[in-house]
Amino acid sequence: MAPPIIGKSTFSRIISYEAILWYLLPKLKKICLNLPAGRKDRIFSLINNLSTRKPPRVSVNPHDPEIRFLHESLNLILDDIEYVAGNLSPSKWGYLRNLFEGIVQSESYRMLIRDIISKFKGIKDGVILELNPSSGRGLIDACKILGRRGLGVDQDPLFTEIGKEYAYRENIDNVEFICTDLSKISDHLSAPVALLLVTSPINWFIDQRYLLSKIVSIAEVNCSIVGLLPFRERDEEVNIFEPYINLVSENRLMTVLSSENQLSYEGFSKITFQKIGSLYLFTAVKR
């Protein structure tokens, strides 16, 4: 399977998101002074590593509604981080909802997902399964494009209800959203999984080794997987998303090579990785 071709306008918009992350790094460093020592030191180290690199050369239009929404969402998260650090466990993603919704609801992100999904019209019969679908709009779009039944699985009942609400608004009846542990997904499948999606930003905050292990356990023979995650290009190179991920998690991002090796070892073929800024679009098929 050839890597999906991402339109230039969508590609540049994703890069402009990264410019905002660079802009907010000094603010993040200042706010992190009040975080627990271990978490603070980890984030400081990541920021210092990033500071030796040049930021993306992108002109960010402050009047663009999508850019403004994302910027305001990130600012809100950073403003609340002192409260969050002491009162919110990593299993509860409520305070990050503004960031997730800002990205997932943006037209650029939806264009990106639709562009990717359109490449999979020839997949085998079966359902489309999305892990941690956030608002569920990516899954809804996928079901519209491919004409398949969809199942979105999340461990947060709040996101499950958001997905149901969007499906209701768009009058879609072939998509179901359930709240359950990822280990119990098979109990809710009435047909084989044809396409497994890991494209929602909520997955950026989940340990990647754990996430890949779940993908491996869920995917059946001939199942195609599509993921969009931040990886390290090389082990010593920090990803711009890492300081933000480390606000709620100390997970270290995997490298592209280690991710590819794990998928290959577990029986996947036609593995491709396409770089989109600091995100990587990856596809594979279970042999």
Confidence of residue 232 (pLDDT cuts 50, 70, 90): very high
pLDDT the model gives residue 273: 94
Please give the structure tokens belonging to residue 117.
């999904």
pLDDT, one tens digit per residue, over 36-86 is 788 889 999 999 999 988 887 777 777 888 888 888 888 887 887 766 655
Which has the higher per-residue pLDDT, 94 or 88?
94
User: Which pLDDT band, with edges at 50, 70 and 90, does 1 fall under?
Assistant: very low
pLDDT, tens only, 177-224: 999 887 788 778 878 899 999 999 889 988 999 999 989 988 888 899
Instruction: Show me where the domains of the chain are located.
Output: 8-103, 116-286
Q: Is the pLDDT assigned to residue 88 strictly greater than 60?
A: no
CATH superfamily of 116-286: Vaccinia Virus protein VP39 (3.40.50.150)
